[in-house]
Structure 1
């Protein structure tokens, strides 16, 4: 089946895009905390990935069955980049980095870096020209991330894995963001295809890596079923696709800079990770950066 081009799809409102993006922030924060919590359980990164993509692949089956695994009219390179950037390869890379990284620091190095990576790709490769307000927003997001990073550096809790693997994962997600924007797929179609291809990859890895899903305690599996499969895998994927369709790749990515703040607060409340003055200051700086990067103030200034 041929996927509709972006031009033939009805436009989505900016309000819907903003609401979708902010909802994704909360879900991603829960995902970071849940993934970090899984480090002390019997579930492996492959187990989490099976839940993360297998559950929505089943629930979204009507969409990928309708489009086919290689939708006509969709450039194959965009689908490959989408699966690479937000599918099983992305998850395995991030899962490796999360093992040695507190939720607060992971929030900085993963979703905190992603808006900057998305903006750089947009500027350097896609010819985007952000105005002064949005540039200030990017700088504020960077400053907020640096503040949180310095705070974690002083504690000596991070290794080279955290500093290299998670930013690489953030770059992959930024690539996915722009590839999805170019694909012409709807949020449901894109999410369905990413999940079904990722499930195929994960199933192929079971003979080599094994799985503990059938032997892990039900409480562990149930928690990850909800956070990985239903919230992050299904709901966040569709909501983020909606945000990208409505706001554009770079602007949708800017909202995710709030995730480090939510992850830091959640990590403090649920995992007992420290939450100090630096985190609070970084919260305010990052929030201001997101407000500027969305372009809302640019639109008002232009009136």
Structure 2
């Protein structure tokens, strides 16, 4: 594809995205907001579920298998229903590449981080890095320019991440392992940001792509898991609980809800809802994991969440047209 053709595609995508948001009527707007809120809530529950799983004794390998295997089982029927209508952009090579990016390597880093750093670190550092990478890759690779709102939001986000990372557990709790946990979240966030960029660059459908990636990840990871890892010796109820958290909620329902929100609102307005995951996860950790955030964690979550929201400049433009 020529440079001119790529520029035309990006311009067309931008017009289509703005048109989708502008064309949404009041009923579709309300439905889209509902789907977006549901996705944010489900992802927040998933984050807390990982924390619970690690505390119960599940390993990173256990949770990775449950996430991709569970999501694959749930989304496979949807993939089969769309099989004859899949776009040409979703090739086996691209699905395989994405499975290498957000498959077992992503799950290993993300789940390992939970065993080393507090929950508040995970729900800010990993999403924060995702946003940074997803915004910087188009600048570096496609020569796109960041808007003023986006730059301001990223600056606020960095301040929030620094505040969260500055909170170190005492030596009796985790020693210096929180630093390694933070690095795991930086790595997982970088991989997820790359995935977001490629999804937009290749114009891939969210549900079908996620199903294909989940199935490929399961098929590639299952032999490794059976050969090198021993399943956690925990009750069946605990495994079922994590299957719900990992596969049904995090890998399945949340993505379906978010894809529905994008369809009804456009990517700009729908992109607001992932910014709600950090505060929701910290709040839900109180009743679900019995984990109370301290003052510095709350401050960092508030600042970083504000940065994520401010960076969504299309939201501001959407409401300014009303």
Shift of 1:254: 6.2
User: In structure 1, how many angstroms separate the alpha carbons of the residues matched to 2:35 and 2:107?
Assistant: 22
Is residue 277 from structure 1 mapped to residue 295 from structure 2 by the alignment? yes
Match in the other structure for 1:264 = 282
Matched-pair contact (CA < 8 Å) for 1:255–1:290: no
Q: 2: distance between equivalents of 1:267 and 1:32?
A: 9
> Residue 194 of structure 2 aligns with which residue?
175
1:203 correspondence with 2:226: no
Whole-angstrom CA distance in 2 between matches of 1:255 and 1:171 = 19
Instruction: Work out which of the residue numbers 137, 140, 164 in structure 2 matches 1:124.
Output: 140
Matching of residues 1-303 of structure 1 within 5 Å:
13=21, 15=29, 19-65=34-80, 67=83, 72-74=88-90, 78-150=94-166, 152-153=167-168, 155=170, 157=174, 158-212=177-231, 216-242=234-260, 247-248=266-267, 255-295=273-313, 296-300=315-319
CA distance in 1, matches of 2:250, 2:216: 17
Tell me the number of residue pairs that the alignment of Structure 1 and Structure 2 aligns.
295
State the Cα distance separating 1:172 from its structure 2 match.
0.2
Structure 1 SS opposite 2:144: coil
Measured in 1, the distance between the counterparts of 2:101 and 2:262 equals: 15
* Unmatched segments (≥5 aa) in structure 2: 1-8
Residues 182 and 76 (structure 1 numbering): CA distance in 2 closer, same or farther, change over 3 Å? farther
RMSD: 3.4
Query: TM-score w.r.t. structure 2 length?
Result: 0.76
Residue pair 2:154, 2:311 contacting (<8 A) in 1 also: yes
Deviations 1:47-78 (A, max 9, x none): 2222212223223223444649x985435553
Name the SS for the 2:255 alignment partner: helix
CA distance in 2, matches of 1:48, 1:12: 37
**Bigger mean CA deviation after superposition, 29-38 or 270-279:** 270-279
Alignment gaps of 5+ in structure 1: none
* Superposed displacement of residue 222, structure 1: 1.9
Contact in 2 for aligned 1:44/1:211 (Cα 8 Å): no
Change (3 A) 1:56 1:271: closer
Q: What is the CA-CA distance between 1:253 and the residue it aligns to?
A: 6.0
More divergent stretch after superposition (257-266 vs 100-109): 257-266
- Seen in structure 2, the aligned counterparts of structure 1 residues 178 and 218 have a Cα distance that, compared at 3 Å, is same
Quote the offset at 1:91 in angstroms: 0.7
1:196 shift after superposition:
0.6
